[in-house]
Amino acid sequence: MAFLISGLLLWIVAHMVPVVAPDFRNAMVQKLGEWPYKGGFSLIIFGSVGLMVVGWHSIESVTPLYDFYDLAAFPALIIVLIGFVLIAASILPSNFRRLIRHPQLTGFSLWAFAHLLLNGDLRTTVLFGGLLAWSLATMALLNKRDGTFVPPAKVLPHKGVMVAALGFVLFIGAVLGHEYLSGVNLNPHS
């Protein structure tokens, strides 16, 4: 559990620096340069993910704290699909950004929430509960820091179709590669 929690804390701290200490981030960029800062940030994030993966695999799944799998399996897939569409909306310009201030964090939150619905063991609750709490806190802090939301200008409607298509492709890739990427079978009853 120590590796899992260490990776989660490293992820949270690294991502929170630009949110709660933008002056520190800007000073580091001035000192190191934009690309070296981004490279260091990326290494820290990769390290945090590595710690979370090692921690995840070092903990045997224990008796569930709760079990909603049979009830939540299909809704969770829909929630994850919507999450991937919102993540795609943070990549491509679309009118989704006019409705949702933080599409990437909102999509990430939905992804984490769906994992909490499906998996009630302690390691899942710690990992995905921590990631969900981080993403929700980040959105709240960004909203407070940045003030009133000013929606961007409208774009052509076909951009939304492109976002939905990209989100669907990401979703299919995640479903097909889930066991390979995470080591977790999507159907634990099989």
Instruction: Show which of 44, 59, 74 is a domain's final residue.
Output: 59
Same domain membership, residue 13 and residue 90: no
Q: What's the distance, CA 142 to chain centroid?
A: 16
Same domain, 8 and 89: no
- What are the tens digits of pLDDT across the range 24-56? 999 999 999 999 999 999 999 999 999 999 998
Check residue 96 and give its pLDDT.
87
55 and 71 co-located in one domain: no
Percent above pLDDT 90 for the chain? 63
Residues comprising the chain, all counted: 190
pLDDT attached to residue 187: 67
Task: State pTM to two decimals.
Answer: 0.87
The reported pLDDT for the residue numbered 190 is: 54
Question: Residue 99 above 80 pLDDT?
Answer: yes
Question: Which structural domain, as residue segments, surrounds residue 2?
Answer: 1-59
Q: Let me know whether 123 and 42 are in one domain.
A: no
pLDDT value of position 86 = 94
45 and 89 share a domain?
no
Q: How many domains does the chain have?
A: 2
Residues 77 and 39 in one domain: no
The answer to whether the CB of 163 falls within 8 A of the CB of 88 is yes
| Domain shared by 67 and 131, yes or no | yes
pLDDT at 128: 95
**What's the pLDDT tens digit per position in 68-81?**
888 888 999 999 99
For residues 140 and 132, what is the distance between their CA atoms, to the nearest angstrom? Answer: 12
Burial class for 9, CB neighbours closer than 10 Å (0-12, 13-18, 19+): middle
Q: Give the number of other Cβ atoms within 10 Å of residue 89's Cβ.
A: 26
Dump pLDDT digits (tens) for 111-147: 999 999 988 889 989 999 999 999 999 999 999 999 9
Same domain, 78 and 136: yes
90 and 122 part of one domain:
yes
Asked whether residue 45 falls in the same domain as residue 71, the answer is: no
- Give the per-residue pLDDT at 189: 57
Tens digit of each residue's pLDDT (9 = 90 or more) over 58-69: 888 777 888 888
| pLDDT at position 13 over 90 | yes
Across the range 98-102, mean pLDDT stands at 92
Residues 177 and 151 in one domain: yes
Q: Which of 59, 77, 96 is the last residue of a domain?
A: 59
Residue of higher predicted confidence among 167 and 185? 167
Q: Are 107 and 69 members of one domain?
A: yes
